[in-house]
Amino acid sequence: MSTSSGSPEQGKEKGRESLKAIMAQKKKEMLQNMPDNPDSADALIDPYANSTASNYITRGKTGVVCDTEVLKHKCDWDDNYPENPQRLSAILEKCSGQGLFERCINIPNIMRPDLYEKVISKHTPELYEKLERVSNMSLKAREDAASDYDAIYFNQFTFDAACRSLSSVLNLVTAVAKRDVQNGMALVRPPGHHAMENEYNGYCYFNNVAIAAESVIREGHSKRVMIVDVDVHHGQGSQRMFYERDDVLYFSIHRYEHGTFWPNLLESNFNYIGKGDGLGFNVNVPLNETLLGDDDYLAIVFNLLLPLGYEFNPDLVIVSAGYDACMGDEKGKMNVTPGFYSHLISLLSTLARGQIAVVLEGGYFLPTLSEGACMTLNSLLGSPCPMLDPIKCVHPTVINTICNVRRMLHKRWKCFDVVELQTPETVTTYSQHRFEICYFGDKRKPPFDNGPGSYPGNTEENFRYYTKLNDALRERYGYVLGLPINYVYDDQMLQHAPQPGDVERPERPQRLSSIMEVLKEFGVLERMSRTPIVRRDFSEYSPHCRYYFSTVNNTMQQSKDVYVNEHTHDSILLAVSGLLNLIDGIMKGTSQAGVAIIRPPGHHAEQNKAMGYCFINNIAVAANYLLKKYEGDRVLIIDFDIHHGNGTQNMFYENDSVMYISIHKDENGKFFPANSPRNYTFDGYGRGRGFNINIPFSNDKMGDTEYLAVFHNIILPAAYSFAPQVVLVSAGFDAGIHDPLGGYVVNPETFGHFIHMLKGLAKGRLILALEGGYNLTTTSYAFAICSKALLGDPIIMPNNIYKNFSSEAIKTIRNVTNNFKQYWPIFEVNRKLGETPYILKKLKDFKEKNYGQELVRAIDPNRVHDNAYVEGEMKALNDS
């Protein structure tokens, strides 16, 4: 690490630039020597470049911008207008009451001198000038002008408020893109995502998010921006502004009801995926039912948003944060809980090195609007996510929408190769997905009624019910701040070593000492708290046979994968005791999470047998300790060691209080531990059926893409369906690059992404316990980056995600998800995708929720993304 004068952040930035310069020069020299094969230069670049760079990347501050002058913008002719100053006041009051602003950096809203130029980058000059002019008209003239626009009002402060709102968003997004802050939130109004090039719409005047995205791209701060729009209404303005661009991925989840919900547009449907260079970069997820909740939204996040995000690999994420999908909102009529937004931000933070700018859009039920905004800001600050209820089911219409989106984008994004296309031989009633395009709406036309009573409001009964429900959720969530990440380590565990003269063993003391060296080099140890290891009698919680531990000594028979010396017994005791000490701290509320730098490993140890360098099953003892000592009933064990944890599986195979998930190399039963029951069909027994999930890989050399696809498609959906109280990670790093036993090519930073994705579970109560990993460099870097993930540091994205995607891995993912549909309903989204698209005719006697489907017409599957063609076919069908 280089040293320099100046602040620590300046030093880190210089270190980053120095590393970039070194790597660029190295690549240039290689290219000069091999000009005919440029790809080989990439292969020869330092494989640990990202790992080394991780040393310089630590979590930055969270910025907040808010200009209270915008509270003057209100509807002068309707005091009950939904978009009113109370929306922002309620958020400010809630966040202040929880002390959130004190933990943030306040970004002053200095009005941008180039604001006009920024506006006309996405709007016409006439739109800007008219807003300034109309805001200065008389009350009657302003009210008349509003009738030309859908859901719009003007008062004398509207132009000023729109300018201040846009300026706030520009200042925040620029600060995040330049890494002046890690992330941040713009608490602004009026909102912006409905504003079109030359039209005000839906309470929006300037499209704040679109203008800010354009600004940071033009100024060179960002190259690829992902806009995630979770407002319950489709942001048609944002969509149109980037519809033919491939440097902005627009992703919108919105209520649609086949076009009968505002803004009633054809273009809000899933078949609008962009045009030209932007084909595939516009993603609509239309919801065709009301009262959808966390289960449905999480299914969309796991199956669509995260895979696309990882493949697109943005360097900035902007969230159009509408909270009108939150429960109690009369306009949205959805049932998303405020806690969901915390999980959304946590999962999105795996992208773009955590550079996220959240911009307030809609949300009109003040209790859940303010609570949702608080949960968002808490998550940006790194607070643990609240517990959500287990995923019980995904609504059939949402399953259909997910399948429709996947089908539309199947040829555009490799991440969707995980799902099959239907053929005549594979179509069954159970798995069939019908690829349908429906539109039953009518576009609204001026003049528009923006007067009193023109918008839905909550009944007093609904208001009381949802307020009470929100209060109950808030009490359940709680707010835990400032708890440390603890670690356990003891030098005495280094004394467990092969006997003098024995052959060299890959499981050796240097595994721990090298990890400790890198943890010190990365400054991780000084940021965590050390928990002293107090030796414990763990016999009450041991899953092993009685007296078995007493037989583990230097007289024990040795084998190729088992060795002992006089220190082995004590090393085992220290390893197990260290885990139990970490659990005590977490369960008693003195620490948030834990890291166990321990050996010997444990996950191969059977009830009365040592194998695979394992003697006592550390993780199994820890799980039993949680179940018995702390009366837990949902412990999740994630095992990503490349070898199947046969011992752990066997100890909980009939237990529904422990979910065991193992992702491992199988090689058709030939890889160690050979011939053990580790295929996906071994899914538990008795009450444990469905709680044992094996993800076996064979035949190909798996890497970052395959492992991340497994997390998105299997591990996260299963884990959120189980909703654990604690997560235990059997952290083996022998799937990492250059491991002498594994042979896979997972990069160290990818293991950090695993931990970051799991952090949202169990209120952040997670323990990382070392298992395998025999390349000292890979294991040390990977363990350090996982620890940094627990500390909240951004994780670098591995290179070339989804550039190649193993067909064998795809086959495994399909086999696992198909098998576990019988246990966990979220896997029902994995249906064979319909090959032929259809359009449906609207009946003349159509009524709300009575979608007539008497006339169906097949259309050309090669032209389903050609919206003019689809609209023409739809018109022809309706005219027939």
The 8-class DSSP code of residue 325 comes to T
- Identity of the amino acid at 653: Y
pLDDT at 433: 87
CB 580 within 8 A of CB 621: yes
Which class for 43: exposed (0-12), middle (13-18), buried (19 or more C-beta within 10 A)?
Answer: exposed
pLDDT at 399 over 50: yes
Using 50, 70 and 90 to split pLDDT, how confident is the model at 417? very high
Average pLDDT over residues 489-499: 95
Return the CA Rg of the chain. 28
pLDDT in tens, 752-767: 999 999 999 999 999 9
Tokens of 542: 């041991």
Q: Provide the pLDDT confidence category of residue 429 given band limits of 50, 70 and 90.
A: low
| Candidate list 73, 193, 194, 343, residue with the active-site label | 194
Is residue 338's pLDDT more than 50? yes
Token couple for 718: 């299963």
Catalytic annotation on 644? no
Per-residue pLDDT for 726 more than 80?
yes
- Using pLDDT thresholds of 50, 70 and 90, give the confidence band for residue 46: confident
Query: Counting Cβ atoms within 10 Å, is residue 515 exposed (0-12), middle (13-18) or buried (19+)?
Result: buried
Query: Considering only CA atoms, which of 56, 75, 64 is closest in space to residue 9?
Result: 56
- pLDDT tens-digit readout, 243-294: 999 999 999 999 999 999 999 999 999 999 999 999 999 999 999 999 999 9
Tens of pLDDT, residue by residue over 231-245, are 999 999 999 999 999
Dig out the tokens for 346 from the structure. 């946590």
Residue 14 has what pLDDT?
45
Tokens representing residue 174 in the block: 């620029």
**Residues 503-525, mean pLDDT to the nearest whole number:** 95
Q: Percent of the chain, pLDDT > 70?
A: 92
Q: Are 761 and 661 in contact (CB under 8 A)?
A: no
Question: Per-residue confidence at 428, pLDDT binned at 50, 70, 90?
Answer: low
pTM, to two decimals? 0.93
Q: Which helix (H) or strand (E) holds 876?
A: helix 867-879
- The reply to whether 604 belongs to the active site is yes
Two structure tokens written together for 406: 């996947």
Q: What's the pLDDT tens digit per position in 345-357?
A: 999 999 999 999 9
Dist CA 92 CA 66 (whole Å): 9
The whole-chain average pLDDT of the chain stands at: 92
Q: Which of 221, 258, 544, 604 is catalytic?
A: 604
Please give the share of the chain, as a percent, with pLDDT higher than 90.
Answer: 84
Is residue 202 a contact partner of residue 150, using CB atoms and an 8 Å limit? yes
pLDDT-derived band at 424 (thresholds 50, 70, 90) equals low
Average pLDDT rounded to a whole number, residues 535-563 = 92
pLDDT, residue 8, reads 39
Asked if pLDDT for residue 426 goes beyond 90, the answer is no
Mean pLDDT over residues 630-651, rounded? 97
Residue 631 sits at the vertex; the CA angle it makes with 626 and 636, to the nearest 5 degrees, is 45
Q: In terms of DSSP bridges, do strands 593-596 and 658-665 run parallel, antiparallel, or are they unpaired? A: unpaired
Under 8 Å between Cβ of 665 and 697: yes
- Read off the pLDDT of each residue in 706-711 and give the average, rounded to a whole number: 98
**How confident is the model at residue 21, as a pLDDT?**
54
- 852 or 216, which is more confident? 216
